[in-house]
C-alpha cells in the first residue's frame, strides 16, 4: 500500500512539472510553457502561457516589457547588414580557418576602427560574437587571425570571382592606382623612404589597388616596399589579375612606362592611361597653345572640370592608338597661383636666412626670384596627355580618364573611414594582414553601397543610419525569463535592410515601425 502510494506521488510530481513545448503555426514556431496533469488515468497537457518564439533554431523568450529589466544593449543594425553581405559572398569559408575572426575585424573597421586591444573590448558591446558564432574573442585570438593570412593573391581572386557571379557583374574597365602609408620609426622592414606626392621623407609602404570602373568594387590589392616606383608595380598586378577580354585598364601617368603599356595589351587589356609630358609631347602641347584651343569646338565639360582637347593618332611605346592633349584652364590658373604663393613665402624665408623646400630652389638666383625659370615652369601648367589603345571619341577618352575618381574615392575610404594609415603593427606579415582587413572592410562597404545605390547613400552613411538599431537584452524579474528585443526600425533603416536582402527583416525577427 505504501509502495503504491509512493509511486502515485512520484507520477503526480513528474506529470505536474511545467516545461516548454514548441507549437507550429504557419511558418512560425512559438514556445509555450505547459504543464502535465494526471486526469482519469491519463496525462492531460495544460497550457500556462506563451514565453516566446524560435528563430533559426534559437529560442527568443518574451515577457511584459513594462516590468522587464534591461541587462544589456548591443550594437546590431550595422553588423547585421555587413554580416548578410559576408554570408552572401561566403567570405568566412573563402578566408580559411580564421575566417570568422578576420570578418569580425573587418566589421569593426567599418564601424569603429581602433587598436586590436580596443576592438576586443568593443566586441562585448556588439552582436559580433552571435552573428559570427565566435566561441572566444581575445587579443591573442585576433593576432592569430592576422597571422593566419596567407595566399592573399589567391584569396582575392576567389573573392572577386564570387563577387562577379553573385552580383552578375560584367566589368568593362578596371582602374589601377597606388598610394602610400607613412610610418613613424624604422621598425617595419617594408617601410622605406621613397617618392611621394607630399614630398615627405618618412618611411612609407605603398599599396596598389585595382577597382571596377563603373561600380568601384575592389578587385585586387598588394603591399609594396616604400621605395618601389609606381610604374614598377603594375606588371606584378597584371600577373595577379591574369588575362582578360574586352576590359579597359585605366591608370595615372605615374604608373605609365613602356613595359606597362605593352604588357597590358599583351594580357588582353585595352589601355587608357596618362602619359608624362616628355619633350615630344611638350611639342604637341605647344601646337595646342598656338592653335588657340580654348573654344567651344574643343570643349569637353565634365561634372567637376572643363577641358579643351586636341585628339590625334599616336604610337605610344610601340602600341598604336590615340592621344588627347587636354588643357584645364581653371587648373592652369590655380597651379600658377599656388606656385606664386609658395615663392612669396620662400622669398621671405630666404630673407630671414631660413631654409626653403628643395623643389623651390630652382626658381631662385640667390635671394631673388628667377622670372625666366618661373615662366618656363608655368608654360605647361594645366596640361595633361591621355593615351588610348582604342578608337574612342574625344569625350569618351576625357570622361573615361578624368572621371577615374572611383579608385581615388577607394583610397580616401581606406585612409579615412577605415583608418588604414593607422598601422599599429610592425612585423611585415602583420602589416600586410592589417591592410588586408582594411581591404575586406572596403569590400563590404562598397558592396553595401552598390546594393543601396537607388537610395543615394554611401556605405558609411548607411551604417550611420543603422546605428540606432540596437538589440536589447531584458529579463522578467517575476518569471525569470530572459528575452531579446530589437529596437523598432525607422523607415530609412527598413529601406536599407530590404535593399540588402528583402528577407532580412523576417530572418532576424526584426519588428518594423508602426
Residue 81: pLDDT above 80?
Answer: yes
Residue 197: pLDDT above 60?
Answer: no
Classify the phi-psi angles of 433: left when phi > 0, otherwise alpha if psi is within -120 to 50, otherwise beta.
alpha
All cell numbers assigned to 318: 610601340
- Assign 11 a pLDDT band (cuts: 50, 70, 90): very low
Give CA–CA dist 332/254, Å, rounded.
19
Give CA–CA dist 266/264, Å, rounded.
5
Average pLDDT for 239-267: 73
Average pLDDT for 232-241: 70
Residue 10: pLDDT above 50?
Answer: no
Torsion, Cα 233 239 240 242, to 10 degrees, reads 140
Q: Looking at residue 385, what is its pLDDT?
A: 93
DSSP single-letter state for residue 192: B
Q: Looking at residue 329, what is its pLDDT?
A: 92
Give CA–CA dist 115/135, Å, rounded.
21
Average pLDDT for 310-320: 87
Q: Looking at residue 219, what is its pLDDT?
A: 86
- Local structure of 514: helix, strand or coil: coil
Q: Looking at residue 496, what is its pLDDT?
A: 93
Residue 233: pLDDT above 60?
Answer: yes
List phi, psi (to 5°) of 97.
-60, -30
Q: Looking at residue 410, what is its pLDDT?
A: 66
All cell numbers assigned to 124: 562585448
All cell numbers assigned to 284: 604637341
Q: Looking at residue 41, what is its pLDDT?
A: 66
Give CA–CA dist 172/272, Å, rounded.
12
Give CA–CA dist 367/346, Å, rounded.
9
The domain spans of the chain are 1-61, 335-377
All cell numbers assigned to 151: 595566399
The percentage of residues in the chain with a pLDDT greater than 70, rounded to a whole number, is: 73
Q: Looking at residue 9, what is its pLDDT?
A: 37
Is residue 500 within 8 Å of 451, Cβ to Cβ? yes
Give CA–CA dist 440/218, Å, rounded.
9
- Assign 5 a pLDDT band (cuts: 50, 70, 90): very low
Lowest-confidence segment of 27-36, 190-199, 240-249 by average pLDDT: 190-199
- Assign 192 a pLDDT band (cuts: 50, 70, 90): low
- Assign 260 a pLDDT band (cuts: 50, 70, 90): confident
The residues facing 322 across adjacent strands are 313, 388
Q: Looking at residue 194, what is its pLDDT?
A: 58
Average pLDDT for 371-395: 92
The residue among 136 and 103 whose pLDDT is bigger is 103
Question: What distances in angstroms separate CA 194 from CA 188, 190, 199, 205, one per listed residue?
Answer: 15, 12, 9, 9
| Of residues 243, 390, 246, 406, the one with CA closest to residue 324 | 390
- Assign 421 a pLDDT band (cuts: 50, 70, 90): low
- Element housing 166 (H / E): helix 152-167
Q: Looking at residue 199, what is its pLDDT?
A: 58
Residue 119: pLDDT above 80?
Answer: no
Residue 331: pLDDT above 90?
Answer: yes
| Of residues 355, 376, 380, 419, the one with CA closest to residue 114 | 419
Q: Looking at residue 185, what is its pLDDT?
A: 54
Q: Sort strands 173-182 and 247-251 into parallel, antiparallel or unpaired.
A: parallel
Question: Distance of alpha carbon 296 from its chain centroid, rounded?
Answer: 40
Residue 70: pLDDT above 80?
Answer: no
pLDDT, tens digit (0-9, with 9 covering 90-100), for 202-211? 677 788 888 8
Q: Looking at residue 290, what is its pLDDT?
A: 74
The DSSP result for 391-430, as a single string, is: ---HHHHHHHHHT-HHHHHHHHHHHTTS-TT-----SHHH
Contacts with 394 (C-beta within 8 Å, 6 or more apart), sequence order: 300, 309, 311, 324
C-alpha angle 163-168-171 in degrees, rounded to nearest 5 = 80
Give CA–CA dist 74/96, Å, rounded.
28
Give CA–CA dist 324/63, Å, rounded.
70
All cell numbers assigned to 223: 603591399
The residues facing 400 across adjacent strands are none
Is residue 339 within 8 Å of 314, Cβ to Cβ? no
Residue 244: pLDDT above 70?
Answer: no
- Assign 113 a pLDDT band (cuts: 50, 70, 90): low
All cell numbers assigned to 222: 598588394
Is residue 5 within 8 Å of 11, Cβ to Cβ? no
| Of residues 76, 19, 21, the one with CA closest to residue 54 | 21
| Of residues 93, 104, 95, the one with CA closest to residue 138 | 104
Torsion, Cα 446 448 451 455, to 10 degrees, reads -100
Q: Looking at residue 17, what is its pLDDT?
A: 46
Lowest-confidence segment of 212-226, 228-242, 249-263, 435-449 by average pLDDT: 228-242
**pTM summary value:** 0.71
- Element housing 312 (H / E): strand 306-316
Is residue 169 within 8 Å of 215, Cβ to Cβ? yes
Average pLDDT for 28-42: 68
The whole-chain average pLDDT of the chain stands at 79
- Assign 408 a pLDDT band (cuts: 50, 70, 90): low
Is residue 51 within 8 Å of 20, Cβ to Cβ? yes
Amino acid at each position: 500500500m505504501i509502495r503504491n502510494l509512493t509511486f502515485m506521488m512520484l507520477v503526480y510530481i513528474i506529470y505536474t512539472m511545467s516545461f516548454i513545448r514548441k507549437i507550429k503555426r504557419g511558418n512560425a514556431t512559438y514556445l509555450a510553457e505547459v504543464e502535465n496533469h494526471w486526469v482519469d488515468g491519463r496525462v492531460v497537457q495544460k497550457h500556462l502561457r506563451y514565453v516566446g518564439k524560435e528563430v533559426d533554431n534559437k529560442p527568443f523568450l518574451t515577457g511584459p516589457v513594462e516590468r522587464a529589466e534591461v541587462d544589456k544593449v548591443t550594437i546590431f543594425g550595422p553588423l547585421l547588414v555587413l554580416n548578410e553581405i559576408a554570408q552572401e559572398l561566403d567570405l568566412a569559408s573563402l578566408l580559411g580557418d580564421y575566417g570568422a575572426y578576420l570578418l569580425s575585424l573587418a566589421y569593426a573597421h567599418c564601424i569603429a576602427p581602433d587598436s586590436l586591444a580596443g576592438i576586443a573590448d568593443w566586441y562585448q558591446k556588439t552582436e559580433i560574437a552571435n552573428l559570427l558564432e565566435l566561441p572566444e574573442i581575445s587579443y591573442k585570438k585576433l593576432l592569430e587571425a592576422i597571422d593566419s593570412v596567407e595566399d592573399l593573391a589567391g584569396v582575392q581572386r576567389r573573392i572577386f570571382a564570387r563577387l562577379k557571379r553573385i552580383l552578375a557583374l560584367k566589368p568593362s574597365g578596371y582602374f589601377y592606382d597606388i598610394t602610400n602609408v607613412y610610418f613613424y620609426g624604422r621598425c617595419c622592414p617594408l617601410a622605406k623612404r621613397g617618392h611621394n606626392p607630399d614630398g615627405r621623407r618618412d618611411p612609407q609602404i605603398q599599396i596598389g589597388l585595382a577597382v571596377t570602373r563603373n561600380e568601384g568594387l575592389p578587385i585586387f590589392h598588394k603591399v609594396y616596399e616604400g621605395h618601389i616606383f609606381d610604374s614598377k608595380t603594375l606588371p606584378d598586378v597584371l600577373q595577379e589579375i591574369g588575362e582578360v577580354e574586352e576590359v579597359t585598364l585605366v591608370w595615372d601617368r605615374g604608373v605609365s612606362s613602356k613595359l606597362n603599356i605593352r604588357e597590358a595589351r599583351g594580357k588582353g587589356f585595352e589601355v587608357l592611361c596618362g602619359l608624362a609630358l616628355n619633350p615630344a609631347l611638350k611639342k604637341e602641347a605647344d601646337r595646342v597653345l598656338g592653335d588657340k584651343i580654348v573654344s567651344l569646338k574643343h570643349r569637353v565639360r565634365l561634372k567637376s572640370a572643363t577641358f579643351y582637347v586636341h585628339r590625334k593618332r599616336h604610337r605610344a611605346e610601340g602600341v598604336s592608338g590615340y592621344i588627347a592633349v587636354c588643357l584645364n584652364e581653371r587648373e592652369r590658373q590655380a597651379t600658377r597661383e599656388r606656385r606664386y604663393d609658395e615663392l612669396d613665402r620662400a622669398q621671405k624665408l630666404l630673407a630671414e636666412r631660413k631654409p626653403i623646400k628643395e623643389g623651390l630652389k630652382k626658381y631662385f638666383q640667390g635671394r631673388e626670384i628667377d622670372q625666366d625659370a618661373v615662366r618656363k615652369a608655368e608654360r605647361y601648367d594645366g596640361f595633361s596627355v591621355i593615351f588610348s589603345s582604342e578608337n574612342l571619341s574625344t569625350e569618351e577618352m576625357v570622361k573615361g580618364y578624368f572621371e577615374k575618381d572611383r579608385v581615388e574615392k577607394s583610397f580616401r575610404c581606406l585612409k579615412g573611414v577605415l583608418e588604414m594609415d593607422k598601422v599599429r603593427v610592425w612585423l611585415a606579415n602583420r602589416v600586410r594582414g592589417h591592410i588586408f582587413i582594411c581591404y575586406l572592410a572596403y569590400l563590404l562597404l562598397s558592396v553595401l553601397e552598390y546594393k543601396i545605390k537607388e537610395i543615394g547613400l554611401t556605405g558609411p552613411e548607411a551604417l550611420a543610419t543603422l546605428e540606432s538599431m540596437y538589440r536589447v537584452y531584458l529579463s522578467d524579474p517575476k518569471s525569470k525569463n530572459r528575452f531579446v528585443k530589437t529596437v523598432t526600425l525607422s523607415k530609412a533603416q527598413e529601406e536599407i535592410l530590404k535593399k540588402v536582402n528583402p528577407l532580412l527583416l523576417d530572418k532576424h525577427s526584426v519588428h518594423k515601425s508602426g
